[in-house]
A and B are shown apart, each in its own frame.
Chain A
């Protein structure tokens, strides 16, 4: 279980007065106050944890966001920003005495600047909507997280989101030119713009991936690219994870950076095949999907090279797509992997860690052993190109103790990722979920420096509290930690 912050009873007691003052300070702002409607905001994609906020504000402009945050600062209110609420790490889960600020109404694309090859969008615009806005001239926005039909660009900035194609095209931070940011004191600043480099400190770089802890991004300027002329995929089966891993290393060593390289283990393949009949080779212990994009001549050339490398690494099967329909069919199983696994069990827990690629066979082996020890099945999906691993742990939340066992299993996997030279999270963020594991990767000094950077933006510590950085050394009884006005009980205990 992960400790949730205990609310400040003084704030809760003053709720009616606070909300009345809010309505006066930000006239016309949409507010959600009643218990029934608040339920829609009580969790995100980390559904095991739920908490209703003090109230939800739904501003429709940067000005409203700024006034809201100035008000929150004046009242000493905690603030939790929320985009589409798709976070898998609990980044948007409320705190009971916090004002949840939902950014969904800032949903306009403000400008498509063809000359400078960028788009200016409000933070609530869904990721895929940006691509749609520039599709007419054959452009797109490259970072493509799986939740892209729903997740917002503001959320992408907060999480530094990636996606299957980030191997070749980078994460959000590599495709972001500028933001408009409302600071915790209500001040509005612009970081970056349509130009490429920061003039002073790269504050845009530190805000990207800051998980809602440093302020609220209200607008983003992103790069758009011309869509590659063509794309082909190869579906390659292997008898062992070792040979699949060796093939991946060989592709990299050959100087090839594919547009995407995904691996699925046998349980994941079996689940996907049962769900969507994509034609995956069921006998393969590891399946690799390699996507190449670019001019036709390049794609055909590289497809041939990859097929050779596959054969040289004992592939048991290798098919190269010969049409767009076939390419999409190869991907269908991978894209359905999560829901496919979800059919197998009432609940699943999607993990996210990154390891050096060479460690994959060892880590998969260890996960297999943990699966036996914890008595929970697991399927693995792996961004082979960059070492980002997604073990999917199957459990039943209604079975007593299974959620706890799943969490313990997940935490052990993440510690192993760090042990082999990797990191706790590659894309989903630390959020609530991995907060307490941060001391496993970072020393007390490392964390204290990060906390001081946070304090530079948010001196009162009111933004998305209880996320990313550990609370006290240990939680109080019943798993609740009371943090009153930013001052911890037992201040003598070392704070990470």
Chain B
């Protein structure tokens, strides 16, 4: 078992050990991606907040710092990670604890990604060790930074295939004074997408918009109390103008919070052995649902994120129905994930470019080989 105590030891391991490595933070997302045959590089000792300056709106921590520790430290100072890292533990059937580095490596972003941006949008800088064993840094600790290439964007969502993150800097945001969610009946996905679009086309400043059968459309407002009040009235007017005569009610504070934890975590699909995750143009959602006829589904990001629950993988049916956007096989038994492309297949040009980018960091394909295929 490889258990480096610090970045120097990570580099030494990569430089001196032969063979493939699987970087592991909390191990919460090991079942996402093509199964990898590699020795685990357990990074648990690389933890701890290095620097936290609330007035600068940034926090720097070692990559395997538990997410819970980060969130607690932020909450104490009235701040949070705006991209709402989702809790996929229930969905994936794991009890493990997510780490900040792992969240970033997976670009794991929840419902607020719709308006607040994804993990990649809040990832300012890092230290890491490349597949060649080089220790390097990129980005910085400030938001306004166009010095050199934006490597944080590239590392976010790279699933440990380019470099092993050892230290990360992320932007933080104020915790809003209050939160509430409007729950509205909708006849079906077409009406739901239109309703969510109408709400987003208004100055209501939503921070979440989702829909699922038997749930209805859920629309979240956050902010200072007088603002949320005014925007609540505005939202009701907008929906009436859109023709929504249906049943509706508000969820306040904790109840709202719990709802969005479930939505971000796609928890309604827990019992499905196969879960697809599609990133699409919202206007495509209704047609996709008609063509794929899923057993169950959840539409987040106002229709831009479609979770599908199934019992058979059926990649041709899912990917064949796409017109733009892409589909990832998020959850499936390992033998299924070994047999079909888990991540979206790339056209020849992009595949070649992607391979060259990978080779720039990890020419010998040591890190999580094949994970993203």
Contact = CB atoms under 8 A, between A and B. Distances in A.
A242 to B, nearest CB: 14
A195 B283 contact: no
A208 B146 CA distance: 9
Q: Interface size class for chain B?
A: 35 or more
B231 A160 contact: no
A155 to B, nearest CB: 13
B106 to A, nearest CB: 11
Most buried by A among B142, B174, B234, B344: B142
A294 B205 contact: yes
Contact of B360 (A193, A441, A455): A455
Contact of A441 (B117, B121, B147, B158): B147
A457 B353 CA distance: 7
A9 interface: no
A159 B149 CA distance: 10
A173 B121 contact: yes
B134 interface: yes
B203 A201 contact: no
B272 interface: no
B283 A423 contact: no
B255 to A, nearest CB: 22
Interface in A232-270: 249, 252-253, 255-257
Contacts of A485: none
A366 interface: no
A445 B78 contact: no
Contact of A296 (B157, B230, B282, B353): B230
A315 to B, nearest CB: 18
A200 B346 contact: yes
B245 interface: no
A115 B283 contact: yes
Interface stretch (B23-31, B40-48, B256-264, B324-332): B324-332
Interface stretch (A16-24, A69-77, A339-347, A381-389): A381-389
A449 B223 CA distance: 41
A58 B109 CA distance: 41
B149 A456 contact: no
Most buried by B among A298, A301, A302: A298
Interface in A403-458: 421-430, 434, 438, 441-443, 445-450, 452-457
A370 B142 CA distance: 24
A479 interface: no
Nearest to B228: A298
Interface string A461-476: 0000000100000000
A424 B140 CA distance: 10
Nearest to B124: A423
A257 B174 contact: yes
Interface stretch (A28-36, A42-50, A94-102, A352-360): A352-360
Interface in A173-215: 173-174, 183, 187-189, 191, 193-206, 208-210
B324 A253 contact: no
A202 B203 contact: no
B141 interface: yes
Most buried by B among A197, A203, A356, A459: A197
A229 B143 CA distance: 27
Contact of A446 (B136, B145, B157, B301): B136
B94 interface: no
A255 B142 contact: no
A356 B55 CA distance: 9
A103 interface: no
B232 to A, nearest CB: 10
Contacts of B305: 196-197
Nearest to A210: B149
B6 to A, nearest CB: 18
Interface residues of A, number: 92
A166 interface: yes
Contacts of B201: 114, 117, 137, 139, 226
A189 B349 contact: yes
Contact of B350 (A116, A189, A453): A189
Nearest to A160: B146
B271 interface: no
A253 B54 contact: yes
A412 to B, nearest CB: 17
Contacts of A354: 140, 142-145
Contacts of B165: none
A297 interface: yes
A193 B280 CA distance: 9
Contacts of B53: 356, 358
Nearest to B327: A199
B357 to A, nearest CB: 5
A228 interface: yes
A368 interface: no
Contacts of B157: 197-198, 201-202
B144 A195 contact: no
A365 interface: no
Nearest to B118: A197
A177 to B, nearest CB: 9
Interface in B150-200: 150-154, 156-158, 162, 173-177, 197, 200
B281 A297 contact: no
Contacts of A429: 146
A199 B343 contact: yes
A195 B177 contact: no
Nearest to A229: B203
Interface of A: 113-117, 137, 139, 159-160, 162, 166, 170-171, 173-174, 183, 187-189, 191, 193-206, 208-210, 226-229, 249, 252-253, 255-257, 294-298, 301-302, 354-358, 383, 386-388, 421-430, 434, 438, 441-443, 445-450, 452-457, 459, 468
25 contacts: A115-B197, A139-B201, A160-B150, A188-B349, A196-B301, A196-B304, A198-B107, A203-B353, A206-B151, A208-B153, A226-B203, A255-B78, A255-B175, A257-B173, A257-B174, A294-B203, A297-B229, A298-B227, A301-B224, A301-B227, A358-B55, A425-B145, A429-B146, A454-B149, A455-B356
Top 5 closest A-B pairs, CB basis? Answer: A205-B153, A255-B174, A298-B227, A426-B144, A297-B230
Given A191-B350, A252-B54, 12 more contacts: A195-B279, A197-B279, A199-B326, A202-B157, A226-B202, A298-B231, A358-B56, A386-B143, A426-B146, A430-B146, A441-B147, A449-B134
Interface of B: 53-57, 78, 107, 109, 113-114, 117-118, 120-121, 130, 134-138, 140-154, 156-158, 162, 173-177, 197, 200-203, 205, 223-224, 226-227, 229-231, 234, 279-283, 301, 304-305, 324-326, 328, 343-344, 346-347, 349-350, 353-354, 356-361, 372
